[in-house]
Structure 1
């Protein structure tokens, strides 16, 4: 596809969240309420917002630790990075214009706007992706020009990465000498062997834990090629993974 005219932004490696200004609640993608300290949302605007709870690149596990912590002080390390306005039923360009104006007067230290850049073509997208990758980022999100806000996955919102990843269910570890790997199950019901470090192999997660693996395409059998362990996903249940897969 030609990405010319599409809107690019960094894909943040955090926890997706939705700000409901009427109930003053931050909801997770799975519809669970985050236990947010009052000081964090004190100066949030009276408008619904879609974004990501984030701190910095490569800190996904630390971010989850904050969200599961009972220490409100730890929330001072996070920001709610906003990239869309769900209730504005208009095209992306109008929503960008609205958010830029809104954030010109926002005073909360825990709120920021993730700006979008108009893509001029494939080379521009690749250059932007390389910049994000060089900074340790996860990838790039591109949004179709003229698109409306949609809940869930959409052909008007795509990811660009240097690798592919998926969530799988941990079943057990291999017992072959000098071979360190996890035995896992994909959402498609395919068994796969996931390469790990010796340390991860010696300290596996509990059975049925959801983990993220990175891989390079698929074999003819439908199993991911050369998968390797990336991280744990304690924020997801296997039911969440299957529900997300079925809506793709």
Structure 2
């Protein structure tokens, strides 16, 4: 049986990713249920950034694509695996995404980026113990953009909802809840929950539908399929530029919705953004 360190190394080694084109085996959040026992979780802000995995030498997106980190910044990151979000600030996802996608990084953009780290994958123990180890590791970072995401406990659901309201009022996306006693896990798990005022999910684009009326000559809607296998249209939430150059067939997009119909389709689905590849 692999030790925690060997397991993390086998999952996240650069050579494995380069040879297989594998996605890093990261922990992904589920929607928080209504009957949540908040005492079991550490709570943090959900950052509207680009998920980034540092394997100790190189950085990767959630889908296993390399991120070009400026050499001077890469030299200041620890030789240990880190998981977090590259983030410029609330409401700046598009700028963050553009900066991270560049094959040649721009110093001016990376000067505005923060690497908000919330996990130390190779460390043993519970999430609460790994969080303590992460704070110790990054207590005095050389690169000022390297930050540990604050994790706190809340007393009850009322306090949690109040914290969510404060975060959203300030321009934040929502909250993340990580089970304090959880070992290191990967895949979508109830050990990691997201709490937002609106639901969101991902779907794959399977077709473009032409626009009519004022959208004549542009994309009118995307036909998409989500992880549950449901196929549906998304026709709102797009800028004119996005209608002129829509996410391609095969791309993964994130959409917002308000609950599900009796047949399991998302209500009022609206385009949010194209997910990072």
Q: TM-score range by the shorter chain?
A: 0.7 to 0.9
SS in 1 for 2:263: coil
Match among 194, 202, 206 for residue 235 of structure 2:
194
**Residue-by-residue CA offset, 1:174-215 (whole Å, 9 max, x unaligned):** 545478951321221412243246736753515414332211
1:239 maps to what in 2? Answer: none
SS in 1 for 2:131: helix
1:72 maps to what in 2? Answer: 106
Does structure 2 conserve the Cα–Cα contact (< 8 Å) formed by 1:143 and 1:158? yes
Question: TM-score by structure 1 length?
Answer: 0.84
2:38 maps to what in 1? Answer: 3
The 3 A distance-change label for structure 1 pair 122 and 151 is same
Unaligned runs of 5+ in 2: 1-35
SS in 1 for 2:190: coil
Backbone CA RMSD of aligned residues: 2.3
Q: Which moved more, 1:182-191 or 1:32-41?
A: 182-191
**Residue-by-residue CA offset, 1:94-126 (whole Å, 9 max, x unaligned):** 112212222222222121111101121101111
Match among 79, 90, 93 for residue 60 of structure 1:
93
Unaligned runs of 5+ in 1: 237-248
SS in 2 for 1:13: coil
The 3 A distance-change label for structure 1 pair 13 and 198 is closer
The 3 A distance-change label for structure 1 pair 214 and 126 is same
1:185 maps to what in 2? Answer: 224
1:224 aligns with 2:266: yes
Does structure 2 conserve the Cα–Cα contact (< 8 Å) formed by 1:40 and 1:110? no
| Number of corresponding residues | 233
Question: Counterparts of 1:13 and 1:60 in 2: how far apart (Å)?
Answer: 6
Question: Counterparts of 1:134 and 1:170 in 2: how far apart (Å)?
Answer: 35
> 1:165-180 residue pairs with structure 2 within 5 A?
165-168=200-203, 169=205, 171-173=207-209, 175-177=211-213
Question: TM-score by structure 2 length?
Answer: 0.76
